[in-house]
Amino acid sequence: MITTHPFYDEHGDKLREECGVFGAINAGDDASAATALGLHALQHRGQEAVGITSFDGKHFFTRRGLGHVAENFSSPESIAELPGHMAAGHVRYSTTGGAGLRNVQPLYADLATGGFAVAHNGNFSNAGALRAELVQKGAIFQSTSDTEVVIHLVATSRYPTLRDRLVDALRLVEGAYALIVMTPEGMIACRDPLGIRPLQMGRMGDAVVFASETVAFDVVGAQFERQVEPGELIEVDFEGKVKSFRPFGESPSRPCIFEHVYFSRPDSVFDGRSIYEARKAIGQQLAIESPCEADLVVPVPDSGVPAAIGYAQESGIPFELGIIRSHYVGRTFIQPSDGARHAGVKRKHNANRAMVEGKRIVLIDDSIVRGTTSLQIVEMMRDAGAKEVHFRVASPPTAHSCFYGVDTPERNKLLAAQMELEPMREYIKADSLAFVSIDGLYRAVGEKPRVAKCPQFCDACFTGDYPTSLTDLEMKEKGTAQLSFPVNKVA
């Protein structure tokens, strides 16, 4: 029987990357079509809204909408509204700033230097403080997105060139960003100095393309060239010249390790490694660290599949699809009653009774956030006749909120922040529960064990070791300032 619990959340029980970006320059008449197709490949990174801005040499054009890429950019007419040989787009969930059409990116402004459009993946952890200061100086904001802070900082910078003004603005922000900027002179792509958020560069004939993940290049027929390095700023003009700058110096990178665990599509490559292979290796490491006597290894689809394959291969326990997922459940599915809403997991997952009945099963999932879905999946397995249900998690316990562009609950709603391992096991009603260790996770993605003084990744959601200052959070906790929008808002 499915029950409700204090950590219940009708929006789901997964960490969500809040956005993905794609840009193309010198793509002829295909710039907007390629951008729409690239965004479709990045749809898993944001399903709340989508926008594309194009430039035809004289004018900027923007089309934005709520919902999926296919709902807004599937017709020839929608692409025809976006002429030009340069375009950039964005898919999003909302964290900082909240939902609404006015927050859909790319954001655009007419500056003294001309048109300026920006698509941003990430979060500025001092955006509230910067925004309050700008408002006091007379700035008028059109959105509640932290991204608009960059536009105002660029507009008020006194440096002579647009590139220098952008660098000047970015020196004032803290946190994480992968930006694609369009101006009348061309396209600029840049990544935060720690490389927390991903950004890749490719080529499609004469066009230069940028995307959050390499899978977008596969879909549009582009060749992956390299990642945009942490702290790197790349300028591409309309003659095809590509210039690279490192205005922030060199520092040890801290890319988000959760890209390996969950965010990126399995067919992407991140930091030079196949995401699919990395997730299988995490499952293998999990089997080494936390073996279990069982009859079947069952993934929680779809994100648990590669790790479950790795666990099965390492343990020798057969892999089976003991849970079948429906791919036709939208986020706005009409709920007929509170009871049905509370049993929402059954809309997405159903037990494959023929496989699990009478069996000892090992469930493999990528993470436990609030624990509500894990509890309901375990109960569903027992209702289907499973003899034992052992839960294995392909990441360490998520005990801390993210402030770098990932939609996470406040810490008091994270199960691992409130409970030790045994109470967590009791809460989700599993026969046993185990997580991969932080060092095991590092080994699985091809690194040495975690270096405490200088970690190789941003793993703050597991360790609480945040790689940057968290000005807005500190101000909120001290009550020293009124921020202009909520910190770490949950969509």
CA 83: distance to chain centroid?
Answer: 29
Determine the Cα–Cα distance for residues 124 and 472; give it in Å rounded to an integer. 9
- Alpha-carbon distance of 251 to 229, in angstroms, equals 11
Question: Cis omega (within 30 of 0) on the bond before 146?
Answer: no
CATH classification of 279-326+338-446, choosing from 3.50.50.60, 3.40.50.2020, 3.40.50.300, 3.40.50.1860?
3.40.50.2020
User: Which residues neighbour 58 within 8 Å (Cβ) at sequence distance 6 or greater?
Assistant: none
Query: Where does residue 358 rank: exposed (0-12), middle (13-18), buried (19+ CB within 10 A)?
Result: exposed
Residue with tokens 């839960």: 391
Partners of 408 in the β-ladder:
none
Residue type, 257: I
Rounded to whole angstroms, the Cα distance separating 235 from 255 reads 22
What is the Cα–Cα distance from 100 to 97, expressed in whole angstroms? 9
Q: Which of 19, 292, 402, 458 is catalytic?
A: 19
Mention every residue, 6+ apart, whose C-beta is less than 8 A from residue 381. Answer: 298, 322, 323, 351, 356, 361, 363, 389
The amino acid at residue 446 is G
The closest alpha carbon to 118, from 188, 175, 170, belongs to 188
**pLDDT tens track, the chain, 491 positions:** 333 334 334 444 666 657 999 999 999 999 999 999 999 999 999 999 999 999 999 999 999 999 999 999 999 999 999 999 999 999 998 645 555 788 899 999 999 989 999 999 999 999 999 999 999 999 999 998 999 999 999 999 999 999 999 999 999 999 999 999 999 999 999 999 999 999 999 999 999 999 999 999 999 999 999 999 999 999 999 999 999 999 998 889 999 999 999 999 999 999 899 999 999 999 999 999 999 999 999 999 989 999 999 999 999 999 999 999 887 765 433 334 444 444 566 678 899 999 999 999 999 999 999 999 999 999 999 999 999 999 999 999 999 999 998 878 889 999 999 999 999 999 999 999 999 999 999 999 999 999 998 999 999 999 999 999 999 999 988 875 444 444 433 22
Query: What residues does 108 pair with on adjacent strands?
Result: 117
Residue 458 is among the residues annotated as catalytic for this protein: no
* pLDDT value, residue 327: 76
Asked, colleague to colleague, whether 16-254 and 279-326+338-446 share their fold, the answer is no
Q: Which fold has domain 16-254?
A: Glutamine Phosphoribosylpyrophosphate, subunit 1, domain 1 (3.60.20)
Domain boundaries, the chain: 16-254, 279-326+338-446
The Cα–Cα gap between 404 and 307 comes to 25
Q: Is 16 helix (H, G, I), strand (E, B) or coil?
A: strand
> What pTM was estimated for this model as a whole?
0.91
Contact (Cβ atoms closer than 8 angstroms) between residue 152 and residue 141? yes
Coil/strand/helix, residue 491: coil
| The pLDDT of residue 284 | 98
CA distance 247 to 339: 55
- Provide the 8-state DSSP code for 467: S
Provide the pLDDT for residue 409: 84
